[in-house]
Amino acid sequence: MLTLQSFEQASEIVKQVTLETKLIYSEFFSKQTGNKVYFKPENLQFTGAYKVRGAYYKISTLTEEERKLGLITASAGNHAQGVAYAAQRFGVKATIVMPTSTPLIKVNRTKSYGAEVILKGDVYDEACAYALELADEKGYTFIHPFDDPVVATGQGTIAMEIFKELPLVEYILVPVGGGGLATGVSTLAKLLNPKIKVFGVEPVGAACLKESLKNNQVTTLNGVNTIADGTTVQTPGTKIFPYLQENLDDIITVEDDELVVAFLDMVENHKMIVENSGLLTVAALKHLGIQDKKVVSILSGGNMDVITMSSVVQQGLIFRDRIFTVSVLLPDKPGELSRVSKVIADVQGNVIKLEHNQFITTNRNAAVELRITMEAFGTEHKKKILKTLEQNGYKPREVQALL
């Protein structure tokens, strides 16, 4: 079903609901990796993610009778919005089952497109099981988020656009949840250029496709644990698995901490908000082990709630040694707080927060604890601040930074 003709047809149809997401050349990541790095910014789509492509194309292939029955799907968020928006465009009813852990922004945006939202289950697989029950019970037409070759064809239109802009692309990195996007992109990419390399990227805590490929059969993980909520899938698609086996060259896995740092890099260097799942391909760039290649990283979505965003920024600053906390003991007498503050100021440390604890010991005349959270320019500056404190008679002890 995944033929060049079907991809060409899908490419024309999805233009009705997609924005033009031109490739963005990244000077920052190109210098970091020694390659020519481009981003395919699907986070800039109207629904905030690529998923509308597959949803709209799938619905376009349904009969009028199938549409009138009503549509239902399960999704961690982006496919939900894609189906809801596509259903709205076709004027049909949509019911979306979402895991209870889905970020609020994705829930509210799905509702804003007129869909009925049901929160059920801790992960996608549990939400999907419930959606299938409702489909059987009420006769709804189920739109699978990834295990459907037609949906995968719609997602694969991204590859068509990449090749039109960058015909000599050599590597494409694609995020993997259930595998629909990876199926479409890798299959079309190989049809257009059999020599191209397409790598799927999964979080370490939800690497269901890597495990399945290793076992040479679809495998269900016992559980998933990752901040990349859009990829919290325990079992990859069964129908699309043969395409993934044939067309994916490798799987790269990245740690959650790497996603946190990638978020900070994207905000500071490209002024773009990309959700954790969409950052998988950014974090994977340093794992490629290649030089002087043309690489496209697909940024699959940008739907991140403000609370999560705040937490990720804070953790990113801590990981980069831009924020840190030290504990020092001071004599309990006037002027000591001013003195230690001057030491820090003299080396351009910026104090964010102070915690003064007089009850660290029963002998208040001996010492009080001062916890200082401060901002630095990076690791070398942090080391300089710590060394200066030591040279001035303090014994700074680094503790967990909490803002």
Catalytic residues: 51, 300
Rounded to whole angstroms, how far apart are CA atoms 221 and 238? Answer: 14
Q: Is the dihedral of CA 161, 166, 171, 175 positive or negative?
A: negative
**Length of the chain as a residue count:** 403
Q: Which residues pair with 119 in a beta bridge?
A: 98
Parallel, antiparallel or unpaired: strands 397-399 and 323-330? antiparallel
Q: Is the dihedral of CA 134, 140, 144, 149 positive or negative?
A: positive
Give yes or no for a contact between 5 and 262, defined as CB atoms under 8 angstroms apart. no
Rounded to whole angstroms, how far apart are CA atoms 377 and 364? Answer: 35
Please give the sequence-ordered ranges of beta strands (E in DSSP) within 162-308, or none if there are none.
171-175, 197-203, 250-254, 294-299
- The answer for residues whose C-beta is within 8 angstroms of residue 71's C-beta and 6 or more apart is 59, 83, 87, 92, 93, 94, 95, 140, 141, 142, 143
Rounded to whole angstroms, how far apart are CA atoms 189 and 170? Answer: 10
Tokens found for residue 210: 């890597």
Q: Nearest CA to 88 among 171, 36, 34, 17?
A: 17
Rounded to whole angstroms, how far apart are CA atoms 303 and 312? Answer: 14
Tokens found for residue 313: 């920024």
For 117, the 3-state DSSP assignment is strand
